[in-house]
A and B are shown apart, each in its own frame.
Chain A
């Protein structure tokens, strides 16, 4: 891992506790993530993954702890943060076109009472072109496949031109073509020095996709470079020995070892 001691971490979370109705969803979470990483957030259902990214964006009342971005309080870095929602959180019948959605990515840069300008449209079109959705710019969003819908939201995130991204399960329920388009995009963002946090469910692809991991189960189980923390011991702790998941984990690890082996040859 590249040491970046001179720079402050992209995201620093200290003693973060979040509770809903007095029941803690996140408990005493502590970590520092260096900039320029693709970070997978992994853990069982109800582990607080979505809560973690919402808290990191400053959208939830914290029971304790604090969050810093690029060594500064959150408030000063709002404009540097991009967001991709979970697909189920969106009302797909909402009367907006693909272009309308992507332009929303520009709203953070526009002031009060300002309408998107030519420049904003240009950025939106470029972003759509990057995910191969430009031909669909005038479609209403319900007339798209699941994979296309996900790409629209990625285009919106690109249009935000942020330094740090939070994506809530972008790989859930998408076709293989979209999955590989997304991962290309993530790598492109990384190559530009952006930090991307991705809530992720598919353990079989973790090792291939992410160079840093946050293993979460209400408490922070582990975080660090993928090769250091993605092992049966840590995953066992994260998933608390849920039997079906554990077989999945074992298979995933076996497959990854296999993959690594074939790659070495």
Chain B
């Protein structure tokens, strides 16, 4: 049964003076992770590489597990390097299989990411010791715990890392905006003017791995896929300008984190999953109501047009 919705308990209570800190941390962590994913997701979607995001979110696992085994931590530079390396290798493996066999890219992606993920899961079962990592955590993450964990600073360590990663994601994409844009839109022009499109691609994949691993402990390897794709997909329904879409993906990340948190409190569910459900609702709204592409505005425009034609015809009689 769905619990009864109580406005006081589920909407205002989380923001009272006792709970606001927890709420801010959880919603904030959700936003930081979802925003970084959504931002790079826009660049993946316009290059029709959403599937690669799917792949990398899984295949970073062996890198994470290996780094966790060696350095007994799930955050910090070693995990990032491990995951970055795993993500980079994923991209290389996929292209290598494509180049040296008749297997096409979709199948190559399917082979590489599932087997690397499987390898990671096998490695997880071998892990013993101080770091907690199990299949549940791999799949769903643990946002509330990660966001409220105590560290050396006021904010939890994972949150600081997520904030830095989001900031760098935006900064890097602005610094290399030209290169990202032209190598996504017209790789041949990019190469003909001396931009190393391959290098841009590998750099993007390595940075994607960094984002994914930053999100990993909080939301797990499945939810992160939704966070990579849904904000960007929603934003691109609402605008046909890349820059506007990037900003809208941040708005989407913020709204889905806030709404999702309340949803999770109401339904007593996993928080990142509720955030994705909220994000999906926003996507649905954009799909139906987007002024330029929405189902209803497009239908209304078509109806108006038909009416006008009918009117002009009857007027002529």
- A interface list, Cβ under 8 A from B: 54, 57-59, 78-79, 81, 83, 85, 89-91, 94-97, 100-101, 104, 107-108, 110, 112-115, 140, 142, 156, 160
Contact = CB atoms under 8 A, between A and B. Distances in A.
Nearest to A86: B188
29 contacts: A57-B191, A59-B192, A78-B193, A79-B194, A81-B192, A83-B188, A83-B192, A85-B186, A91-B48, A91-B185, A94-B46, A94-B185, A95-B240, A95-B241, A95-B245, A96-B181, A96-B185, A96-B241, A97-B241, A100-B181, A104-B181, A104-B182, A107-B182, A107-B193, A107-B195, A110-B178, A112-B179, A114-B178, A140-B240
B188 A89 contact: yes
A85 B240 contact: no
Contacts of A81: 192
B189 A104 contact: yes
B317 to A, nearest CB: 33
A160 B186 CA distance: 15
Nearest to A157: B189
Interface in B149-195: 175, 177-179, 181-182, 184-186, 188-189, 191-195
A90 B187 CA distance: 10
Contacts of A83: 188-189, 192
B236 interface: yes
Interface string B191-218: 1111100000000000000000000000
B296 interface: no
B186 A95 contact: no
A59 B182 contact: no
A85 B181 CA distance: 16
Contacts of B195: 107
Q: Report, nearest first, the 9 A-B pairs whose CB atoms are least far apart.
A: A108-B193, A140-B240, A95-B242, A57-B192, A78-B194, A95-B240, A83-B192, A104-B182, A59-B191
Nearest to A168: B188
Interface of B: 46, 48, 175, 177-179, 181-182, 184-186, 188-189, 191-195, 236, 239-242, 245
A140 B186 CA distance: 16
B236 A95 contact: yes
Contact of B189 (A58, A85, A115): A85
A208 B71 CA distance: 72
B178 A107 contact: yes
Contacts of A94: 46, 184-185
Contacts of A91: 46, 48, 185
Given A95-B245, A107-B193, A54 B188 contact: yes
Contact of B185 (A57, A59, A104, A142): A104
A142 B236 CA distance: 14
A112 B178 CA distance: 9
Contacts of A156: 189
A115 B243 CA distance: 14
B188 A59 contact: yes
Contacts of A57: 188, 191-192
A110 B177 CA distance: 12
Contacts of B239: 95
Nearest to B186: A85
A17 B26 CA distance: 60
A108 to B, nearest CB: 3
A9 B317 CA distance: 69
Contacts of A140: 240-241
Contacts of B192: 57-59, 78, 81, 83, 108
Contacts of A96: 181, 185, 241-242
B55 to A, nearest CB: 21
Contacts of B48: 91
A156 B192 CA distance: 14
Pick from B185, B191, B239 the residue with the most CB of A within 10 Å.
B185
Contacts of B178: 107, 110, 114-115
Contacts of A59: 188, 191-192
A172 to B, nearest CB: 16
A37 B179 CA distance: 32
Contacts of A113: 175
B57 to A, nearest CB: 24
Pick from A108, A115, A156 the residue with the most CB of B within 10 Å.
A108
Nearest to A160: B193
A261 B87 CA distance: 67
Nearest to B45: A95
A86 to B, nearest CB: 9
Contacts of A54: 188
Contacts of A110: 178
B186 A104 contact: yes
A166 to B, nearest CB: 8
Pick from A78, A95, A96, A140 the residue with the most CB of B within 10 Å.
A95
B189 to A, nearest CB: 5
A112 B172 CA distance: 12
